[in-house]
Amino acid sequence: MATSASNYKKTYPISWEQLHRDSKALAWRLLGHDPFKGIIAITRGGLVPAAIIARELDIHLVDTICISSYNWKDKKGNAEMLKTFEGDGEGWLLIDDLVDTGRTAQIVREMVPKAHFATVYAKPAGRPAVDTYITEVSQDTWILFPWDTESQFVTPLVGQDKK
């Protein structure tokens, strides 16, 4: 099922500081689990949270699964697998920034069914695909991650055109 920008009614901007806090909160939640052999980051979105969680859990072995299924606000019809992971994931922690529809999560779950899957953010449709998450957002919200934004001047409200 393809989803386009018109399906998103809200935008939720995430700052670098908030992403760091939320990723650290995810690490706290994961502390109660048996130690993980390593982390598998789902690229590209899972790279930054994986780095933060690796530091907080003192994990030095980090690998990746590279899959491409998004292009800005439009979701591609098919996910493109760019790099896989050897093994069933037993003892590994699988990290991504977000689970949205669950389509990418389903593909990765089939590859590493025994990994513990954690995301920082989760939407209702994809939430059942992950084991642990921190923040739930509505399905009609586009999460704007800090690597997709830049700071710029904004005209004060009194200077903006009134519509």
pLDDT for position 163 = 58
- Looking at 3.40.190.10, 3.40.50.2020, 1.10.357.140, 3.50.30.10, the CATH number of the domain 9-159 comes to 3.40.50.2020
pTM: 0.85
Cα–Cα distance for residue pair 3/73, rounded to 1 Å: 8
Strands (E), the chain: 10-13, 38-43, 62-71, 74-83, 92-99, 116-122, 132-136, 141-144
| Rounded mean pLDDT for each run of 10 residues along the chain, 163 residues in total | 64 96 98 95 96 98 89 62 94 98 94 98 97 97 93 84 67
pLDDT for position 76 = 52
Q: CA-CA-CA-CA torsion for 141, 54, 71, 12, nearest 10 degrees?
A: 20
pLDDT for position 71 = 59
pLDDT for position 3 = 46
Q: Give me the active site residues, please.
A: 96-97, 100
